[in-house]
Amino acid sequence: MSKPIKELPVFKTEAEETAFWQSHDSTDYVDWTQAHKVRLSNLKPSTKTISLRLPQHLLDSIKVAANARDVPYQSLIKVWLQEKLNAR
């Protein structure tokens, strides 16, 4: 037997809602058995710009490899970094 779901209060501010959820359990207000998985395919992960100093010969080699694959060299660096992390 499931417990009755309480009605959510109306929040005036995001801070008020944050304070509410810090002191309340969502299972009192949401029937999670009715939840459905969704895929948010248009969301892109946030990125951060970094500065990376590379020897000129290394950067030139990366650019040649990227050109051979017809991709931007920054994209190729990201792919290679991700592949290396996945291989760990």
Burial class (CB in 10 A: 0-12, 13-18, 19+), 48: exposed
* pLDDT over threshold 60, residue 33: yes
pTM of this prediction?
0.52
- Helix runs in 1-88, H state only: 14-23, 56-69, 73-86
Are the CB atoms for 9 and 20 separated by under 8 Å? Answer: yes
- The radius of gyration computed from the CA coordinates of the chain, to the nearest angstrom, equals 24
Query: For 36-61, what is the mean pLDDT?
Result: 92
Query: For 16-38, what is the mean pLDDT?
Result: 92
User: What would the two tokens of residue 48 be?
Assistant: 């951060």
What are the boundaries of each domain within the chain?
A: 56-86
How high is the mean pLDDT of the chain? 92
User: What would the two tokens of residue 20 be?
Assistant: 């509410």
